[in-house]
Structure 1
Amino acid sequence: MTTPARLPDAASLETVLAGLDPAAADADLIPALAAAFPGFDFGIAPIDDDYWRDTRSVLRPDGTRIGELRPWMMAEIAKDGGDIKAVWARLKQTDLQITEWRGSSAFVSAPTGPGAADYIQIALGREIEWRAGPIVNPDYRPWGESELLDPSWPRTDQLPDSSRLAGPVYRLLGRAGGAVIHVRSFLDRCGRIERDKREAQRSEMERRVIHEVGPAGTRETPFLEAVPDWFDHVPREIRFFRDWEDSSTSAQRIFAHWALDIHDHTHKGEREVGFIPRPLKPPKERLLMTPEASVHALMERIEAVDREGGLPFGWFFLMTHGHWVDPDVGLAIAQGLKAQRVRLPDRDARVLLRWADRTYGF
């Protein structure tokens, strides 16, 4: 498979998304992307991660929009000289209402080649505007203006479909540097930035020593002698994809099972780039290590996880995620492999033992 000539870019994607009719957006999204970017086989995976935008409007009961909540409310507060109690008492007697946008994530992916990392990922938000409730909570007096400008109380309510005002609409999520990525290029970026960071510390590392106190006194060992491969560190993001390609999971595409929550930003003057993998089909129950669990019982449980997810060796990647499968489970199975008490397919055993020798997780 060859990469199509034109990779999707943010500006072109925003044009496509803006052209979708909310009444048919769910059905039309993938055909519209395919028409705009020929040669890609797009698929979409929704994520159950409700969020709220900070964009709200003020409505009259007939649906007439008065304006955005924040500037409108600031003017109302000014009318009462900043007296929050007076504003609340006055507004709760009105029939004004507020709207809010509720959304959830959706990841669109398309392969660009045969390798595990040969695909593009587009992070979208699927958002609907709702009539959320009265302009203020009539049963609770706010104690500060922030409770009027950024009300959170309506968010506890499940809204009826009759309260829907607009949407669904799709938009690129404002993830730092990660709304649209070509995954292999992103992994190259992760590796390059990590190498540059470590190379910039070469002089410091060459001077650093490790002090060890023993019966014969204090011994000083050069840091790079104790950790000779410090400059060869491979980021966990690259290892995640390498382990996928080297194991039984390689028969299936990563994007059919995982979405990548990308970040690429500068924090305290240092470039931070990477991702947190998010399972598209998490197991119903967590697999936790217990003191009484035998390695044979653990093998039965990881096989059940794989059957549930429809992915051989899928439990391993849930383990690196750090929530769904306890890393101690992987360490126990690795010990069982070394003791020849249990078996895994050879390629999976190599990946697990490599991980156990130098663990990583998200």
Structure 2
Amino acid sequence: MTPSPVRLPDVASLQAVLARLDPASAGADLIPALAAAFPGFDFRLAQVDDEYWRDTRSVIRPGGTRIGELQPWMMAELAKDGGDVKAVWARLKDADLQITEWRGNSAFVFAPTGPAPADYIQIALGREVEWRAGPVVNPDYRPWGEEELLDPGWPRDKPLPDTDRLAGPVYRLLDRAGGAFIHLRSFLDRCGRIEREKREAKRPELERRVIRETGPRGTTRETPFLALVPDYFEFVPREVRFFQDWEASNARSQRVFAHWALDARDYTYKGEREVGFIPRPLRMPKERLLMTPETSVHQLMDRIEALDRELDLPFGWFFLMTHGHWVEPDVGLAIAEGLKAQRVRLPDPDAAVLLRWAERTYGF
């Protein structure tokens, strides 16, 4: 008997699973609920400490009775006073009305679909809690424009006690730019295809383009653009290179999703398709690795080895370097020069990846 094919999740089915979760036990129930809805996947959850705020707020009475959403309610209050912001503030600053606010943190669910680095799925979620944020207007500060009434930022300057928790936690798909659910292998294929299509569309123009250079005594030389950039149509997007480098290096002994989440995007803006991601480390190192004039390449080797031990990932420093914040690109360039001069050594697979990167750098 042929086994039934595993059904990949989709946005509508994921939203249905999340809607059925009880906030009282959502954290414990999330993975079992996903496993029941999509048999055959080994789901695992990673939380990220990156507090954000939704723009959805409600107006409530002290007992918790909801009056309505803040923006339309406040627009109606402004209309009562002919748009006079000062008058609205004077009228509301002593009222007992309060506003709520949804605060969240990113959470990512992963599940492998095969043995290769890109063989997995990722679900981007927000774990969100609704809080009693404060009075409907700041009684101590008169706003200068209606935007400060419609989108108040002042409640966010202090942590809130647990007694002000109103609802949640709830899990919600973070579909900010079409990247709530991705199958990485398919997503990378899409990245490469879209990039090729963009470049192919420019082929007629580039085949006609020439670079003019002025030489001695006013002589002019013209060089076809494609002669100067012969590999223009062979460009590999950084997203694809990230996974290629992972597979080619000693990092391949571990899964990408054990160390990185991806802020993925797939949208069209002004007729232009944008597909890609920004990698986010799930584990931050204790400190940044910066290049200074007095740092020797041997000291850099000691520090990258210590960083790999801290991350528990072979060649992990390299991928932090492509991320661009925790390890400066100059560190990689200095080590690459040390390899060429045979002053230092890396395992052969890692050395090959680093030298290839140094020839054509990329970063996020």
Asked if TM exceeds 0.5, the reply is: yes
Q: Does 1:277 align with 2:279?
A: yes
> Could you say what the CA RMSD is over the residues aligned between the two structures, in angstroms?
1.3
* Aligned-partner SS, 2:89: helix
Which amino acid in the other structure matches residue 312 of structure 1? P
Query: 1:4–1:155: structure 2 CA closer, same or farther, 3 Å change rule?
Result: farther
Q: How many aligned positions are there?
A: 361
Equivalent-residue separation in structure 2 for 1:51 and 1:76 (angstroms) = 28
Alpha-carbon deviation of 1:269?
2.1
Equivalent-residue separation in structure 2 for 1:212 and 1:193 (angstroms) = 33
Equivalent-residue separation in structure 1 for 2:213 and 2:328 (angstroms) = 33
Deviation readout 1:296-318 (Å, 9 max, x if unpaired): 00111111111111101000000
**Does the CA contact (< 8 Å) of 1:4 and 1:38 recur in 2?**
no
Which amino acid in the other structure matches residue 333 of structure 1? I
- Residues 336-345 or 89-98, more deviating: 89-98
Residue 125 (structure 1) aligns with = 126
Query: 1:181–1:3: structure 2 CA closer, same or farther, 3 Å change rule?
Result: farther
Which amino acid in the other structure matches residue 79 of structure 1? K
Equivalent-residue separation in structure 2 for 1:214 and 1:310 (angstroms) = 55
Equivalent-residue separation in structure 2 for 1:143 and 1:103 (angstroms) = 29
* Aligned-partner SS, 2:267: strand
Which amino acid in the other structure matches residue 335 of structure 1? E
Residue 175 (structure 2) aligns with = 174
* Aligned-partner SS, 2:169: strand
Residue 32 (structure 1) aligns with = 33
Which amino acid in the other structure matches residue 118 of structure 2? A
Deviation readout 1:116-152 (Å, 9 max, x if unpaired): 0000000000000000001110100011111111111
Residue 302 (structure 1) aligns with = 304
Q: Does 1:240 align with 2:238?
A: no
Q: Does 1:54 align with 2:44?
A: no
Runs of 5+ in structure 2 lacking a partner?
A: none
Which amino acid in the other structure matches residue 148 of structure 1? L
Equivalent-residue separation in structure 2 for 1:265 and 1:12 (angstroms) = 21
Residue 358 (structure 1) aligns with = 360
**Does the CA contact (< 8 Å) of 1:194 and 1:235 recur in 2?**
yes
Equivalent-residue separation in structure 2 for 1:266 and 1:247 (angstroms) = 34
**Does the CA contact (< 8 Å) of 1:4 and 1:39 recur in 2?**
no
* Aligned-partner SS, 2:357: helix
Alpha-carbon deviation of 1:196?
0.7
Residue 63 (structure 1) aligns with = 64
Alpha-carbon deviation of 1:3?
10
Equivalent-residue separation in structure 2 for 1:288 and 1:351 (angstroms) = 21
Equivalent-residue separation in structure 2 for 1:322 and 1:224 (angstroms) = 30
Which amino acid in the other structure matches residue 323 of structure 1? H
Query: 1:46–1:258: structure 2 CA closer, same or farther, 3 Å change rule?
Result: same
Equivalent-residue separation in structure 1 for 2:170 and 2:147 (angstroms) = 28
**Does the CA contact (< 8 Å) of 1:4 and 1:40 recur in 2?**
no
Equivalent-residue separation in structure 2 for 1:227 and 1:110 (angstroms) = 40
* Aligned-partner SS, 1:22: coil
Which amino acid in the other structure matches residue 330 of structure 1? G
Residue 324 (structure 1) aligns with = 326
* Consecutive aligned runs of 4 or more in structure 1 exceeding 6 Å deviation: none
Residue 94 (structure 1) aligns with = 95
- Residues 300-309 or 20-29, more deviating: 300-309
* Aligned-partner SS, 1:23: coil
Residue 345 (structure 1) aligns with = 347
- Residues 3-12 or 254-263, more deviating: 3-12
Alpha-carbon deviation of 1:333?
0.1
- Residues 222-231 or 137-146, more deviating: 222-231
Which amino acid in the other structure matches residue 154 of structure 1? P
Query: 1:195–1:318: structure 2 CA closer, same or farther, 3 Å change rule?
Result: same
Equivalent-residue separation in structure 1 for 2:42 and 2:211 (angstroms) = 53
Identity %: 79
